Amino acid sequence: MEKEYQFIATVEKCRGCGLKLSGKHVEVGGWKGSVPMGYCKCGTAYPLVEIESEPEPVEPAPEPTPPEPESEQEE
């Protein structure tokens, strides 16, 4: 599963165009050292944080059902 990222909590609005960015999920547009960076629609770059996702619950496999006995047909 691919990691998901969002803009850091201190970024509420884009300083370039004013678009609301807080809580938006984005793809990594590049890296600044070891920090993932994302871009607003206007092109302004902001640092991203990885979204902590809970592991998907694993459902147990259903038990196989025995085949039904074939009934004999009278002729």
Closest residue by Cα to residue 45 from 3, 7, 2: 7
Q: What is the pLDDT of residue 64?
A: 67
**Please, what is the Cα angle at 27 between 44 and 48, to 5 degrees?**
60
Q: What is the pLDDT of residue 56?
A: 58
Residue 61, H or E segment: none
pTM of the model: 0.61
Q: What is the pLDDT of residue 53?
A: 64
Q: Low-confidence residues of the chain, pLDDT below 50?
A: none
Q: What is the pLDDT of residue 20?
A: 92
